[in-house]
């Protein structure tokens, strides 16, 4: 007889902002792992468009970016039959719980957030309150779904720790209400670096377009970028300290082929970096080809996408409302009569 522990799959919540280009680093570091988690966990995915407006957006471009990101994530393999995938702004419980959690988050805690400091410096002309309280909204996103696990990169660990602190604080005041989430750290592909400065993380905001590969880049552009990737003078394909460029290319090649470092080193034994870069480029192109084809199909079928995000939003609202109602009752709000 199965125990309750084996019957219940753990809940994973993850969200991504629709802020434009999705890079190979975003895909291999996060999105590919999302897809692989769907069979083993109850996954809930969101397009975090409320988070995006801490930076001023041009409305038409903002809408297009959101649709493009939604289509691309479906194309990457999110299966809404298994995992609801909704647009955050369409589920009003997120904003409502965020306000409540603001009142259980200390000013000093938010001041210590390194992302607030970094983004304030980057957008000095628009240091708004939303940028400051952004982590409370992130906590609401996670805690609404009683998430057991949250996939996080190094830049989000601090925010998840704050979410844990808020949950524990609320639970301590009112009795257990929120599941305290743990980080989910993927085993590989967690950190894809710049092709031009391999000591830095690959980023769409890099001024050098050769530093990153976008998931929707054309094959010729992908190959050109890999051929220009920075390596070293060793001319030997092996993983070692100080060989940041080669280590990064090996990591990318491993992610898209499934080969181990030992297998990669054996494959390119006696070959130069030219052969290796070409092989990595070809492997990435072939890996991204079906994603790009599915993306094009989804963008031609916006009615289907609307059906996907609407049904997912209804399910997300149903799940999250249970948590929000419990929170409001414990605080002492008068319950709605409708």
Beta bridge pairs of residue 334: none
Helix, strand, or coil (residue 149): strand
Please name the residues in contact with 25: beta carbons below 8 A apart, sequence gap of 6 or more. Answer: 191, 192, 193, 201, 202, 203, 212
Per DSSP, the residues of 56-103 read ---HHHHHHHHHHHHHHHHHHT--TTTS-EEEGGG-THHHHHHHHHHT
Query: Tokens 């007889």 appear where?
Result: 1
Torsion, Cα 68 71 72 73, to 10 degrees, reads: 120
Contact 29, 191 (CB under 8 A): yes
**Measured between alpha carbons, how far is 167 from 177 in angstroms, rounded to an integer?**
8
Point out the residues that are catalytic.
Answer: 119, 201, 204
Per DSSP, the residues of 91-142 read -THHHHHHHHHHTTS-HHHHHT-HHHHHHHHHTTT---HHHHHHHHHHHHHH
DSSP state of 15: E
């Amino acid at each position: 007889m199965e125990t309750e522990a084996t019957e219940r799959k753990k809940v994973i919540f993850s969200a991504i902002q629709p802020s434009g280009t999705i890079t190979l680093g975003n895909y291999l570091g996060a999105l590919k792992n999302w897809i692989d988690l769907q069979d083993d966990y109850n996954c809930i995915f969101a397009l975090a468009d409320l988070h995006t407006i801490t930076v001023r957006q041009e409305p038409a471009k903002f809408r297009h970016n959101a649709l493009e990101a939604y289509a691309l994530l479906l194309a990457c393999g999110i299966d809404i039959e298994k995992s609801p995938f909704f647009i955050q702004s369409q589920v009003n419980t997120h904003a409502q719980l965020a306000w409540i959690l603001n009142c259980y988050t200390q000013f000093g805690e938010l001041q210590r957030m390194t992302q607030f400091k970094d983004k304030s410096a980057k957008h000095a002309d628009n240091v708004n309150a939303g940028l400051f309280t952004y982590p409370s909204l992130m906590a609401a996103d996670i805690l609404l779904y009683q998430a057991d696990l949250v996939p996080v990169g190094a830049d989000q660990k601090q925010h998840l720790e704050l979410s844990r602190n808020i949950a524990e604080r609320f639970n301590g005041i009112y009795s257990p209400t929120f599941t305290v989430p743990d980080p989910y750290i993927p085993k590989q592909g967690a950190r894809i670096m710049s092709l031009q400065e391999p000591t830095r993380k690959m980023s769409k905001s890099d001024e050098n377009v050769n530093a990153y590969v976008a998931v929707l880049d054309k094959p010729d552009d992908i190959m050109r970028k890999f051929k220009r990737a920075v390596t070293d003078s060793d001319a030997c394909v092996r993983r070692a300290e100080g060989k940041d460029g080669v280590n990064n290319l090996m990591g990318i090649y491993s992610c898209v082929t499934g080969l181990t470092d030992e297998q990669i080193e054996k494959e390119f034994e006696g070959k130069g970096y030219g052969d290796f870069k070409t092989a990595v480029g070809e492997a990435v192109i072939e890996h991204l080809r079906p994603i790009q084809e599915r993306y094009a199909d989804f963008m031609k079928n916006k009615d289907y996408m609307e059906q996907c995000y609407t049904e997912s939003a209804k399910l997300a609202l149903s799940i999250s409302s249970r948590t929000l109602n419990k929170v409001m009752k414990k605080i002492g709000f008068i319950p709605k009569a409708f």
